[in-house]
C-alpha cells in the first residue's frame, strides 16, 4: 500500500495527444499545412527501434506526416549530414529528429548541430539550449523529457514554484541542465546534484521537488525523500528479476519506488510516468514548428 499519489503519465499524455490532434486538424483545415516529422535512425539498436516505432505511431495518431529514414550502421557521417541538409531545405518537414545514440564513428554533436534550430524538435541545438538558459522559453524548443516533467510538476504544484526547493540529480544536456532551467524559470530554488555531490542523500532530502535522472536503477532510496515531496523519476533501467524461478527483464526507474512512495506526496511510476510524456512533447514541438511555418507564410 503506497501513501503517495501516482502521477499517471499515460493519462496525461493521452489528454495532450487529443489536444494536439484537434489543433493539427485545425491547422490542416485553415492553412493546408500538415505537420511533418522526419526521424533518422542509424543502425539497429533495439531500444532505439522501439522508441522510433512509438514516435511514428504517436505522430500518425496525431495526424502528422511521419517519415522514417533508416540507415545501416556503417553509413558515413557525411551521408547523414547530407540527409539532414535535404530535410532542412524541405518545406514539408517541420521537425527533424536524429535518434541517439549514433554509431561510434559519428560525432553526435556535429550531427545534432547540423539540424536547423527551427526544426530541432528535440531541443538539442546550441541556439535552443541558449534560448532556454536565457529564459526565452517561448522562443526555444525545450528538450522533450524535461518539458514533459515540467507539465507533471505543474499539475501537482501550479505554474509558480516560488519558495520551493528543487533538486535535480543528474547534469546531462538532455535532461538535467534543461530541467534546472525550466524550474528556475518557474521561480524554484534549484540545486543540480550528481554522482560527485557531497552527501547526496542529505541534499535530496532538502527537496520539495526531486527529479532523478542519473540512469542508475533504484539509486534514490526512500529515506532520501522529504515527506510530502513531489518525485519525478526519469530513469529507465532494465534489470533482471526472478519471478517463479525464472529470470525476467524488468523496467525500473532511478528511484526505489516502493520505499519512496511512503514519503512522497506524489510520484511518477516507471514505466507509465515520464516516458509517454516525452513522446507527446515531441509532437507538441513539431506542431509548434508547423504552426510557426504556417504563420510566416501568412
- pTM of the predicted model, to two decimals? 0.93
Q: In whole angstroms, give the CA distance from residue 296 to residue 233.
A: 38
Least Cα distance to 96 among 106, 108, 105, 86 occurs for: 86
Task: List domains and CATH numbers for the chain.
Answer: 32-116 (3.40.50.10860), 143-275 (3.40.50.720)
Spatial contact of 94 and 286, defined as CB atoms under 8 Å apart? yes
Give the model confidence (pLDDT) of 104-123 as tens digits.
999 999 999 999 999 999 99
Q: What is the pLDDT of residue 2?
A: 53
Q: Quick one: which of 191, 200, 189, 205 has its CA closest to 263?
A: 205
d(CA 172, CA 197): 15
**C-alpha cell, 282:** 515531441
Buried b (16+ CB within 10 A) or exposed e, 222-246: bebbbeebbbbbbbbbeeeeeeeee
- Any bridge partners for residue 255, and if so which? 220
Q: In a structure prediction context, what are the per-residue pLDDT tens digits for the chain, which is 298 residues long?
A: 458 999 999 999 999 999 999 999 999 999 999 999 999 999 988 888 888 999 999 999 999 999 999 999 999 999 999 999 999 999 999 999 999 999 999 999 999 999 999 999 999 999 999 999 999 999 999 999 999 999 999 999 999 999 999 999 999 999 999 999 999 999 999 999 998 999 999 999 999 999 999 999 999 999 999 999 999 999 988 888 877 888 888 889 999 999 999 999 999 999 999 999 999 999 999 999 999 999 987 5
Residues labelled catalytic = 55, 99, 122
**pLDDT for residue 1:** 44
Amino acid at each position: 500500500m503506497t501513501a503517495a499519489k501516482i502521477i499517471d503519465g499515460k493519462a496525461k499524455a493521452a489528454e495532450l495527444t487529443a489536444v494536439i490532434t484537434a489543433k493539427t486538424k485545425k491547422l490542416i483545415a485553415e492553412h493546408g499545412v500538415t505537420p511533418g516529422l522526419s526521424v533518422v535512425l542509424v543502425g539497429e539498436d533495439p531500444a532505439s527501434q522501439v522508441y522510433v516505432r512509438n514516435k511514428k505511431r504517436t505522430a500518425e495518431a496525431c495526424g502528422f506526416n511521419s517519415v522514417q529514414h533508416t540507415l545501416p550502421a556503417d553509413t558515413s557521417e557525411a551521408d547523414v549530414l547530407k540527409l539532414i541538409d535535404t530535410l532542412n531545405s524541405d518545406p514539408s518537414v517541420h521537425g527533424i529528429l536524429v535518434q541517439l545514440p549514433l554509431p561510434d564513428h559519428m560525432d553526435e554533436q556535429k550531427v545534432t548541430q547540423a539540424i536547423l534550430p527551427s526544426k530541432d524538435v528535440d531541443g538539442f541545438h546550441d541556439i535552443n539550449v541558449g534560448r532556454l538558459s536565457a529564459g526565452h522559453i517561448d522562443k526555444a524548443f525545450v528538450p522533450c523529457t524535461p518539458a514533459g516533467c515540467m507539465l507533471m510538476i505543474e499539475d501537482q504544484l501550479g505554474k509558480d514554484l516560488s519558495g520551493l526547493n528543487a533538486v535535480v540529480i543528474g547534469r546531462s544536456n538532455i535532461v538535467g541542465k534543461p530541467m534546472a532551467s525550466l524550474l528556475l524559470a518557474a521561480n524554484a530554488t534549484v540545486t543540480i546534484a550528481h554522482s560527485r555531490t557531497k552527501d547526496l542523500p542529505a541534499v535530496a532530502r532538502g527537496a520539495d521537488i526531486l527529479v532523478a535522472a542519473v540512469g542508475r536503477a533504484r539509486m534514490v532510496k526512500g529515506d532520501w525523500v522529504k515527506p510530502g515531496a513531489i518525485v519525478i523519476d526519469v530513469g529507465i533501467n532494465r534489470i533482471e528479476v526472478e519471478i517463479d524461478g525464472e529470470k525476467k527483464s524488468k523496467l525500473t526507474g532511478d528511484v526505489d519506488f516502493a520505499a519512496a512512495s511512503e514519503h512522497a506526496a506524489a510520484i511518477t511510476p516507471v514505466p507509465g510516468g515520464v516516458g509517454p510524456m516525452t513522446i507527446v512533447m515531441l509532437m507538441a514541438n513539431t506542431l509548434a514548428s508547423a504552426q510557426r511555418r504556417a504563420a510566416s507564410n501568412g
